Amino acid sequence: MLDIYTLGEEVLREKTKRVTEFDSALTMLIDAMFETMEEADGIGLAAPQVGVLKRFFVVDTRKANEKIAFINPEIIEMSHEVGSYEEGCLSIPGMYYDIVRPLSVTVQAQDVKGKSFTLKAEGLLARVIQHEYDHLQGTLFIDRMEEIEREKLVKAYNRKHKRRV
């Protein structure tokens, strides 16, 4: 199992670099990320959350055909229709907030062998893709909150985890 970096760790705020080598090391890391995500009872995990500044994430919504690795993803289309849904994050454990996002997205990415694919996602899968994609830009779900609400959530998180800011 890999360590999951948490709020306040600089790696979560950095932008990632494209994956250029599709080798056994990448496959092993992705397998370890799926295992770590499942152990933590998550449904998505991005490389920066495990300290790797590369452009990929894994998703498993526990539905058939929704256990997917997205390498070098690009969201190429988003619906105009949006919806609010409570989000959490393995890097901000125990904190949740309703976040507004497009209800569907189309993403282009590569698989572990480097083969390109395009996927149109709706519902929970679309939301998880957007959440994990944000991690690749150094963005956390709390950055999508109004400032006052974000400050309250961060204070509550720091109290809960007995951290000083």
Annotated catalytic residues are 132
Distance CA 100, CA 75 (A): 17
**Any bridge partners for residue 77, and if so which?**
106
CA 1 from centroid of its chain's CA atoms: 17
DSSP-assigned beta bridge partners for residue 87 = 97
Residue 44's closest CA among 20, 66, 73, 12?
66
Beta bridge partners of 108: 74, 118
